[in-house]
Amino acid sequence: MKVSAIITLKKDVLDPQGKVIQQALDGIGFNHVNEVRQGKYFEIDVEENDPVKAKKIVEDMCKKLLANLVIENYQIIETQ
């Protein structure tokens, strides 16, 4: 089954990439934006049909490889 993981920078970590996107949006007329923060999104198709186990596997992946837990948070979402 497919499980998705969203990795975002923690609240207190500066996001210069998001800032640049905000400036670009401002440049094309979106002037009422308070903040943009960018994150990563992974859609992982694991060979596991039990949603709970599949989520656990993807959570392990986040902890071991996908997310840097010092500065990032992860969020697991069931996709299918």
| Binding-site ranges for a copy of itself (CB under 8 A) | 6-8, 18, 21, 24-25, 28, 30, 32-48, 57, 60-61, 64-66
- Tokens matching residue 43: 């859609």
Question: Cβ 80 to a copy of itself, closest distance in Å?
Answer: 12
Question: Cβ 41 to a copy of itself, closest distance in Å?
Answer: 4
Question: Cβ 65 to a copy of itself, closest distance in Å?
Answer: 6
Check: CB of residue 46 under 8 Å from CB of residue 57. Answer: yes
User: In a 3-state reduction of DSSP, which class is residue 21?
Assistant: helix
Nearer to a copy of itself by Cβ, of 65 and 70: the residue is 65
In three-state form (DSSP H/G/I as H, E/B as E, the rest C), the secondary structure along 50-71 is: CHHHHHHHHHHHHHHHHCCCCC
Nearer to a copy of itself by Cβ, of 5 and 70: the residue is 5
CA distance linking residue 68 with residue 19, whole number of Å:
21
